[in-house]
Structure 1
Amino acid sequence: MTMYAALLRGINVSGHKKVPMAELRTLLTELGHGDVRTHLQSGNAVFSSPSDDENALAVELERAIEKRFGFPVPCLVRDGAYLAAVAAACPFPAAELEGRQLHVTYFGQPVDAERFARIDPAAYLPEAFRLGDRALYLYAPDGLGRSKLADALSRPTLTKGIMATSRNWNTVVKLVEMTAHDGART
């Protein structure tokens, strides 16, 4: 069994697209997954599955959510090894920063640097970003809510055609911990 994290995009924000975590856990269990747990109310679920197809797991979950709740919710599913590798590859000094200062945007597919070439990094200092494996790391010293770089990075022209969802560093670390041992509860 492999441990996975499901990252749901845009749920439980300002009372829209409500997906109670208890119902999400029930739904994942009904889909045949084990070791189901959730983290926070913002769409983070961990589960075990014998499948090795992250995309198929995501599509299955998206369909089940739409059927159960009546609205579409984009989902990414990533295994624990990938989540750990993304955390380990962080180009910023994560141990020295507050969780609100560092974010990871997970992409549904690889992205190339050319997509972000029009962003002048010097114009946003001290904020900074770096690309990783289907991920973008964002350092925003004043937090995401005040980040001009985060606004620039989320422009539709840059994100068109790509499923993307962001998590702060505290959540990144927690998901790594929750998926650390295949088939084992933490």
Structure 2
Amino acid sequence: MTTYAALLRGINVGGNKKVPMAELRALLEESGLGAVRTYLQSGQAVFTSEHGDEEALAAELTAAIERRFGFPAGVIVRGHDYLRAVAEACPFPAADLQPKQLHVTYFSVPVDAARFAGIDQPAFLPEEFRLGDRVLYLYAPDGLGRSKLAEQLSRPRLTKDLTATSRNWNTVLRLVEMTAPAQP
């Protein structure tokens, strides 16, 4: 049995695409997933499954959410080892930063630097980004809401053909904790 986190893209933002967490938990349980828990209202769920295929789980959950709620919501599913590796590989000094300054954008597929080659990174300093394994780390000293670089990074041409969803550093760390194997 593996513990996974499901990251839903674009739900419960500005009163749109409402997905009550109690209903999301019920949907996941009805889908045969175990030990279902949610975190915050912005689309994180943790569950156990013997399935073993993150992409298949994501596709199943995407279809189930559309059937239940009547709109598409991109879903990325990742296990504890991956989530922990993402946190550990952070290229920025996370311990020295406020959580609102550091964000991780998870991608459904690997991306390469060529996708972002058109962004003039020095023009956005002190904001910076770095790519990792199916993630983008963003340092935005004034927060995501004021980040001009985040605006550029979310342009449709950069996220074409993939699901991308961002989380602040507190949520990144919380998901690592929530998906950790139980200690005997």
Q: Could you tell me the TM-score, scaled by structure 1's length?
A: 0.96
Is residue 102 of structure 1 aligned with residue 102 of structure 2?
yes
Structure 2 partner of 1:68: 68
- CA displacement at 1:67 relative to structure 2: 1.1
Is residue 149 of structure 1 aligned with residue 149 of structure 2?
yes
Could you report, residue by residue, the CA deviation over 1:116-147 in whole angstroms, capped at 9, with x for unpaired residues? 11111110110000000000000000000110
Structure 1 partner of 2:172: 172
- After TM superposition, the runs of 4+ consecutive aligned structure 1 residues lying more than 3 A away are none
- CA displacement at 1:157 relative to structure 2: 1.6
Cα distance in 1 for residues equivalent to 2:39 and 2:140: 23
1:118-133 to structure 2, matched below 5 A, reads: 118-133=118-133
Cα distance in 2 for residues equivalent to 1:135 and 1:142: 21
Runs of 5+ unmatched residues, structure 2: none
Could you report, residue by residue, the CA deviation over 1:69-116 in whole angstroms, capped at 9, with x for unpaired residues? 111111000111100000000000001111110000000100000111
Identity of aligned residues (%): 72
Could you report, residue by residue, the CA deviation over 1:36-60 in whole angstroms, capped at 9, with x for unpaired residues? 1000000000000001100110111
Q: Could you tell me the TM-score, scaled by structure 2's length?
A: 0.97
Structure 2 partner of 1:81: 81
Structure 2 partner of 1:46: 46
Structure 2 partner of 1:160: 160
Letter in 2 for 1:158: L
Cα distance in 2 for residues equivalent to 1:70 and 1:155: 25
- CA displacement at 1:160 relative to structure 2: 1.3
Letter in 2 for 1:101: Q
- CA displacement at 1:161 relative to structure 2: 1.3
Cα distance in 1 for residues equivalent to 2:115 and 2:31: 36
Structure 2 partner of 1:10: 10
Letter in 2 for 1:25: R
Cα distance in 1 for residues equivalent to 2:11 and 2:158: 22
Structure 2 partner of 1:117: 117
